[in-house]
Amino acid sequence: MARLLGVDIPNNKQVMYSLQYVYGIGKSTAAKICVAAKVDPAKKVSDLNENEFAAIREVTSKYKIEGDLRRDVAMDIKHLMEINCYRGVRHKKGLPVRGQRTRTNARTRKGPRKTVANKKMETK
C-alpha cells in the first residue's frame, strides 16, 4: 500500500478512487488533483512512478485535508455549542441538526431505543 499524507491508499485501484481514501478528498477534488499533477486518473496506483507520486503529494499538500480538516470541523461545532445557537444546542443534545424528524428514525444520534416499563394496573 502506498502512503499519502499518513493514509494508506490501495495499490490495486485507480488513482482517482484511491485518493478518495483520504479524509477531505472526494470525487471532484480527486479529479482536480489528477489534472493538476498531470496523472492519468485511470492509471492504477501500483503503476505510478516516483515522479508522478511526488507530483500528487505536492498538489495534495495545497488542500486542507485529514487532521487539519478534522480539527477545523470539530472547532466549528465547538463554536456553535459555545454560542448556544440552535444547531449548537442540537449537537449538545445529540439530536439531528439539519431539520430531520425525531419522532422516528433518529436512532443514529439519539442512541439505541429505550423501552419504558409497563406498570401493572391495580384492580379493586
31-54: pLDDT as tens digits: 999 999 998 889 898 888 889 888
Domain 67-110 class? few secondary structures
The C-alpha atoms of residue 124 and residue 112 are separated, in whole angstroms, by: 37
Task: Report the C-alpha gap between 48 and 87 in whole angstroms.
Answer: 44
Q: How large a percentage of the chain has pLDDT more than 90?
A: 31
Confidence (pTM): 0.72
Q: Is the pLDDT of residue 10 over 90?
A: no
Report the pLDDT value the prediction gives residue 100, as an integer from 0 to 100.
85
pLDDT at 81: 93
| Residue 59, C-alpha cell as written in the block | 498538489
Q: Do domains 2-60 and 67-110 have the same CATH topology?
A: no
For the chain, domain boundaries? 2-60, 67-110
Strands 7-9 and 2-4: antiparallel
Which pLDDT band holds residue 121 (cuts at 50, 70, 90)? low
Q: Of 16, 17, 21, which Cα lies nearest the Cα of 6? A: 21
CATH hierarchy code of domain 2-60: 1.10.8.50
